[in-house]
Structure 1
Amino acid sequence: MTTHHDRQARILADVKAERDAQDARFGIQDLPDGTGGLATVDVADQYREDCDRAFAAGRGTYRHVFLEEVFEAMAESDSAKLRAELIQAIAVGVKWVEGIDRRESR
């Protein structure tokens, strides 16, 4: 039986393999963040409210949570806060993949 930690290890290995493939294809890139600004804050607020409404109505999904986290990151201009938001978004993405893997293993 595959355990929770086994699934996470496989997912994180998949993420590492993808990152290695990206570096092999594009090299190490230092691009600007491109985040922050009032427009992105408004969009983040909309996704947060959409997520809250969906869960209050009992119809929340991984999509709601993931998009909320992604757009919170897009709204952030402070590097330390952006990093924290990206980690949250990535963690939700891993959690979502765990859910897919659990469904597929049944």
Structure 2
Amino acid sequence: MHEFWGVLVWSANNLIFALLGVIIVHQIKDNNIVLKDLMWAGILYLAINIIRFIVVFIHLPIFRCFKYSLTVNEGILTAFGGLRGAVGVVLALSISTDPNIQEVGGGYPAK
């Protein structure tokens, strides 16, 4: 049974990343990506990681009050781990393919 679930997870990951590749190629073909876009992506990546580290280290004293005590090294590992892999990809795809989200950062339209 363990092998079955392993194969199922592996297949789902491959399907998700294959779908992601098709969607990205389709979107890049239709849009012009300029250096400014890549710069903003890099800045956003750095900002998200810095915020993740700040949030984890702000909550370390709170964790120590409960049975889930974390050391500083475990906090670094937790912050570095973040949300990685297929879950983050699926969340990003669900946002980028949602027809209710307007094209230029307008959020959800009023009903």
Common topology (TM > 0.5): no
**Greater C-alpha radius of gyration:** 2
More helix by share: 1
Q: Which has the higher contact order (CA 8 A, sep 6+)?
A: 1
TM-score if structure 2 supplies the norm length?
A: 0.38
